Amino acid sequence: MSMQQRRPLASIRFWLTLIFPSCPGASSALAQGPQSTPSTLAPVTTPAHEIFGLSLFVLLITGTIFVVVGGLLAYALIKFRARNDEDAQHEPAQVYGSLQVELAWTVIPVLIVVVLFLTTARIIFAIQDAPRPKSALEVTVVGHQFWWEFRYPTLGIVTANELHIPVSSGRQPTSTYLKLLSADVDHSFWVPQLGGKTDLIPNHPNEMWLDPRTPGLYLGQCAQFCGVEHAKMLLRVYVDTPQQFDAWVKNQQKPGAQDAAVAAGRRIFETEACMNCHTVTGTAAKGTFGPDLTHLMSRATIASGAADNTPANLRAWIRDPNQFKPGALMPAMQLSDQQIDQLVAYLTTLH
């Protein structure tokens, strides 16, 4: 969207901030760029901007209807109230209806519906049927109870819970196409600043696209109830500058770190149940039920955003995942303290 189109949005943001002063963080929620509130009012992609622009148009129409009809209601209640008991004794003139009046006020909603429908249809087609650029990055998103798997088929990368995509600038427009799948039940991919949500449904591949214009970290979470830990299926999307993204890709493409100093921990990983569910490339661990851990330490959080990725949290998580996410599908591993120390020492080398 051009700067010309964006200016009225800025002034409307100002008014929204004035109208909703009671709304804490309203000003920050309406600010540009990444923020901790996943606000639908601070769009940074073309689809999100188009939706926001459309929503303001709809808000204008519905707001006008509200003021007119609400005003008529208030006027009628004040003007036609029974003033005193004596007044109430006499019944008012009885009016049974009027075909002309009925017709008149049927035509107005019809016209409003026509305008709203045409405007909406234009944006639906603009977003859903936008031509797909050849240069678009492809990412396959797989929803799991209760975490996200991200696969970059063209780059040979598999990661989890923290999606990295390149920023789209005027000089270098880059869009990312997400193919949405599910391994178990319905989920929904929703990062409000990046656009609307699309569901991940088993046996029903979906697609959505993003072209974020401002780099940074964008927050979201699963938006379709998917079971006991639905609330902790958080979503982090890093929009990287081209340099950051290239560096990230290079790192992710490396096999898992092999450090002789933590060989004991690696042996535990490969001989205990860990390897049944997790993958670390370059080792015997090729499980696919849980997140790929090859570059675990490149992620800021564990357990799909439920906890910071620190050695202490890793230790606590392995000992008992339920303390962060009751109902998480990873079992408590029943390892000795020494084994956990060695395992965590190994995991923390997986940069």
Partner 1 sequence: MADQTFPIPGAVDATRPRAGLLEWLHSWVVTVDHKKLGILYIVYAIFFLLVAGAEAMAIRIQLAIPHNHFVSPEVYNELFTMHGTTMVFLVGMPILFGFANYLVPLMIGARDMAFPRLNAFSFWLTAFGGLMLYFSFIGGFGSYGVGNAPDVGWFAYAPLTARAFSPGHSTDYWALSLIVSGFGTLGTAINIIATALSMRCKGMTLMRMPLFVWLLLVVSGMTLVTITPLTAAQVMLLIDRYLGGHFFDAQAGGSPIVWLHFFWIFGHPEVYVLVLPAFAIANEIIPVFSRKAIFGYPAMVAASVGIGFVSMTVWAHHMFTVGMTAVGNAFFVLSTMLVGIPTGIKIFNWLATLWGGKIRFATPMLFCIGFLFQFLIAGLTGIMLSVAPWNWQLHNSYFVIAHFHYVLVGAIVFCIFAAIYYWYPKATGRMLSETLGKWHFWVFLIGFHITFDTMHFVGLLGMPRSIFTYEPDRGWNTLNFIISCGGFVQAVGVLIFAWNLVYSYRRGKAAGNDPWDAWTLEWSTSSPPPDYNFAVDPVVRSRRPLWDIKHPQDPDWKYER
Q: Which of residues 81-100 bind partner 1 (CB under 8 A)?
A: 81-82, 87-88, 90-98
Among 220, 256, 265, 290, which residue interacts with partner 1 (rule: CB under 8 A)? 220
Q: Is 56 exposed, middle or buried (0-12, 13-18, 19+ CB in 10 A)?
A: middle
Sheet bearing 157-160, strands edge to edge: 157-160, 147-152, 137-144, 176-182, 206-210
* Binding to partner 1 in span 246-285, by CB under 8 A: none
CA-to-CA dists, residue 349 to 255, 258, 270, 298, 342, angstroms:
12, 8, 15, 10, 11
* Binding to partner 1 in span 301-320, by CB under 8 A: 305
CB 253, CB 155: distance < 8 Å: yes
* Binding to partner 1 in span 318-337, by CB under 8 A: 326-327
Q: Which is nearer to partner 1, 54 or 293 (CB)?
A: 54
Q: Which is nearer to partner 1, 55 or 298 (CB)?
A: 55
Q: Quote the DSSP letter at residue 347.
A: H
Among 1, 12, 32, 199, which residue interacts with partner 1 (rule: CB under 8 A)? 199
Q: CB of residue 73 vs partner 1: minimum separation in angstroms? A: 6
Mask for 226-245, x = binds partner 1 (CB under 8 A): xxxxxx--x-----------
Q: CB of residue 266 vs partner 1: minimum separation in angstroms? A: 32
Q: Is 305 left (phi over 0), alpha (psi -120 to 50) or beta?
A: left
Mask for 140-159, x = binds partner 1 (CB under 8 A): -----x--------------
* Binding to partner 1 in span 4-33, by CB under 8 A: 20, 23-25, 28-29
Among 7, 8, 33, 36, which residue interacts with partner 1 (rule: CB under 8 A)? 36
N-terminal to C-terminal alpha carbon distance within the chain: 38
Sign of CA dihedral 139, 309, 305, 314: positive
Q: Which is nearer to partner 1, 28 or 334 (CB)?
A: 28
Of residues 271, 142, 146, 285, the one with CA closest to residue 296: 285
Among 110, 154, 243, 337, which residue interacts with partner 1 (rule: CB under 8 A)? 110
What would you report as the CA-atom Rg of the chain, rounded to the nearest whole angstrom?
A: 27
Sign of CA dihedral 138, 170, 13, 25: positive
Among 121, 247, 312, 332, which residue interacts with partner 1 (rule: CB under 8 A)? 121
- Number of amino acids touching partner 1 (CB under 8 A): 99
Q: CB of residue 301 vs partner 1: minimum separation in angstroms? A: 11
Residues 279 and 270: their CA atoms lie apart, in Å, by 10
Alpha helix positions (H), 20-45: 26-29
Q: CB of residue 62 vs partner 1: minimum separation in angstroms? A: 4
Q: Which is nearer to partner 1, 84 or 154 (CB)?
A: 84
Mask for 49-88, x = binds partner 1 (CB under 8 A): -xx--xx--xx--x--xx--xx-xx--xx--xxx----xx
Q: Kindly give, in sequence order, each residue whose CB lies less than 8 Å from that of residue 237, ignoring residues fewer than 6 positions away.
A: 162, 163, 164, 165, 191, 194, 217, 218, 219, 220
Q: CB of residue 336 vs partner 1: minimum separation in angstroms? A: 27
Q: CB of residue 118 vs partner 1: minimum separation in angstroms? A: 10
Q: Which is nearer to partner 1, 187 or 295 (CB)?
A: 187
Residues 86 and 17: their CA atoms lie apart, in Å, by 49
CB 45, CB 195: distance < 8 Å: yes
SS3 193: helix
Among 10, 33, 60, 102, which residue interacts with partner 1 (rule: CB under 8 A)? 102
